[in-house]
Structure 1
Amino acid sequence: MNTKLLIFLFFLVSCSTVKKSNKSDLFSQEEKTKDSLILSSRNLKNIPDLSEYKARYLDLSNNAIDHLDEAKMPKNLLELNLSNNKLSGDIKIFELNKLEKLNISSNKIRRVFLKYCIKNINLSSNNLIDILTNCVEDRPNMMDTLNISNNNELSNILRFSPSVYKKIYRKEIKNDLPLVWSFEVPIKN
């Protein structure tokens, strides 16, 4: 037998013994109950199905994810980091009712729709033109921080009351006028 044939046969045998990994099994069974899942910088294009995981913190930052699929998220999630991905267009968060901290900065998001109030939100460095949330004005300072900096097309006229946040970072939005709720803006004839 010649040497090239032996090398080829060895290669075939070694390839057949390598266990094929299941993409959905990113963690062992034991890790499914851990409090934190760190999947940052893994070149993920989609959010893997993590709905059976018990994590309260999920880091999917620095990937190539272009779509937010809430059905694939852990149900008791408190913190979600999707910064530095390829999210664009409209982002709707209607099911993650326990979420307290959201970071979706450094994407290309145009609009954000939130069914629930989230204590800390980082929306900086997107292409935002609109934010809609169910946070109501009669509960001022209920939320901690909102970062809308570096969204050059975002107006100072918002579709929620800015008074619900203790601190708002708003450097480099469309104008330097005070932030106002759209219901507070007088109607022009």
Structure 2
Amino acid sequence: MVRATTERSKEGYHHGNLRVALLASAREMLETQGVGALKLRAITRQVGVSPMAVAPHFGNLCGLLTALATQGFEELAHAIKTGKARSLKDAGLAYIYFAIRNPGLFTLMFRGDAIDRSDPAFAGAAGDSFALLGSCAGTSSNVTGFAPQIAEAVMWGKVHGLAILAIDGLLTPLVQATDPHIDLEQFLEQALDYMNIATSG
């Protein structure tokens, strides 16, 4: 066991894979055990290196988690782009499904107490994701007399709220009460259709 750990450690350093391995370890722990389990010693133990090995790549635990959250926003932006979102419904569904597939990561992305929101890479990745969602929100609203940022904030709040309700399992009773023959996906599609109608005047 000691030998295997040592070999993993050497391989990580030799091939330059330690950064990737640390992110993967943190992400696995995040999705299986939650944000509270993300301790530097536990993450590095899983990779087979000492906590000191984090410093050259991330500085500290906050740096590591910020990099992981940045990765999350990059993946979220990719999900919205891949879905060729042209409407609030398209972008909203991509946003919510990303949260459902990655509940731990999605939670971390908005944990200001665990990450550094002033980090340039994080701020850029988060900004790109919000811009994609915001552009769809702007084109979906016919309400006049308000700054575009108002519409974007309101739409984001509604979509984000649905995402949180979905990953916390709080939509299940509503889905069942709406129609026993529909599933969560159909419920979310109808919810976003409602949002589009409600904002189209």
TM-score bracket for the superposition, by shorter chain length: under 0.3
Which structure features the higher share of helix residues? 2
Structure having the higher Rg: 1
TM-score (structure 1 length as normaliser): 0.28
- Tell me: higher relative CO, structure 1 or 2? Use CA pairs within 8 A at least 6 residues apart: 2
TM-score for both structures, normalised by structure 2? 0.27
Per residue, is there more strand in 1 or in 2?
Answer: 1
